[in-house]
Amino acid sequence: MELIRGLHNVRARHRGCVLTIGAFDGLHLGHQAMIRVLREQAQAYALPATVLSFEPTPREYFARNAPPPRLSRFREKVDALAMLGADRFVCARFDERLRCMEPDAFIRRVLVEALGVRHVVVGHDFKFAKNLAGRVDTLREAGAQLGFEVTEVPPFELDGERISSSRVREALCSGDLDRAARLLGRPYRMTGKVVHGGKLGRKLGFPTANLRLHRRASPLAGVFAARVSGCGLQNAAAVASLGTRPAVQGQELLLEAHVFDYEGDLYRQYLHVDFIARLRDERWFPSLDELVEQMHKDAMLARKALASG
């Protein structure tokens, strides 16, 4: 998949595509359905299946002081879109200029002049441009004049529930990982690079891979049964802690994963951590002995949860 960062990097050779537009946070089952339709239309036109998204996301831009927790970081989104079969990912910077662009200007400058769009695939509730004044009908009317077609994808439902990033976020915040996995079509995953930590876990008999997440906020926190992949590992059983580590007066958001029965070197490697079951909240312990006792309990519960799952 070709990644284009910034509309200023779109070249003449990129003109001509079948396009979908959105935040695509989490790439849940509804997003996956959208990408399937995108690919079908792209195949019919013999043009690249192209995704247009934004950094920061519009929601983050409008709630800069307290943005909603992201389901997926930029790197994770790129990897997921590539796996789903997108040919091209155009990531535009969301700023004041883009925010203030009227619907007709957005369509002409971005979709037609920059990308040479031939077909647009969007959801039934798609809104865009200044004050969210643009709608699906706006696209259809413009397409009739400017030479592109529009496919409106109906809402994707599972067991009578409409799937959305907000619902996935709600499930994660409440610790309902089974519901989140159903909405996503897979266990919720975080990816990060293993960095050096204080090595306290190793001293206590529980060496951990410490993943720096580069997130302002997380949609979930606590101690979890998990599976780890990457660097030769494939769905390896683990117990993981996600949060600021109150047991050691930590401040930075960190994901720590103890992979059972593993002794290799994971430093500087990228790992994927799939959250399978939530075991408990993070909490402070008055002594290291009590912390170690709880770690043994967590490990036992994680093994049990993973064996039954």
Using CA atoms, how far residue 89 sits from 136, 215, 259, in Å, is 21, 22, 34
Cβ of 34: how many Cβ atoms within 10 Å? 23
| DSSP conformational letter for 225 | E
The model's confidence at residue 200, banded by pLDDT at 50, 70 and 90, is low
Give the pLDDT confidence of 157-193 residue by residue, as tens digits: 988 889 999 999 999 999 999 999 999 999 999 999 9
Regarding whether 121 and 39 lie in a shared domain, the answer is: yes
The model's confidence at residue 122, banded by pLDDT at 50, 70 and 90, is very high
Regarding whether 127 and 52 lie in a shared domain, the answer is: yes
The mean pLDDT value for 102-131 works out to: 96
Expressed as residue numbers, the domain containing 266 is: 187-308
Q: What is the CATH number of the domain that holds 243?
A: 2.40.30.30
CA angle 231, 234, 240 (to 5 degrees): 85
Regarding whether 244 and 138 lie in a shared domain, the answer is: no
The yes-or-no verdict on residue 6 having pLDDT over 70 is yes
Regarding whether 132 and 236 lie in a shared domain, the answer is: no
Q: Indicate the range of 34-38, 49-53, 244-248 predicted with least confidence.
A: 244-248
The model's confidence at residue 18, banded by pLDDT at 50, 70 and 90, is very high
Q: What is the CATH number of the domain that holds 19?
A: 3.40.50.620
The yes-or-no verdict on residue 248 having pLDDT over 50 is no
Q: Which of 186, 188, 233 is nearest to 209 (CA)?
A: 233
| Whether the model pTM is above 0.75 | yes
Strands (E), 260-306: 270-280
Regarding whether 142 and 221 lie in a shared domain, the answer is: no
Strands (E), the chain: 2-5, 17-21, 49-55, 88-93, 117-123, 149-153, 157-158, 161-162, 188-195, 209-212, 222-230, 233-243, 254-259, 270-280
**pLDDT at residue 2, as a whole number:** 98
Regarding whether 141 and 18 lie in a shared domain, the answer is: yes
Dihedral angle, C-alpha 103, 108, 111, 113, nearest 10 °: -160
Regarding whether 191 and 102 lie in a shared domain, the answer is: no
**pLDDT at residue 141, as a whole number:** 98
Which of these three, 117, 144, 161, is where a domain ends? 161
The mean pLDDT value for 84-107 works out to: 97
Structure tokens at 50: 């192209």
Residues linked to residue 122 through DSSP beta bridges, in sequence order: 152
Regarding whether 284 and 148 lie in a shared domain, the answer is: no
Domain count, the chain: 2
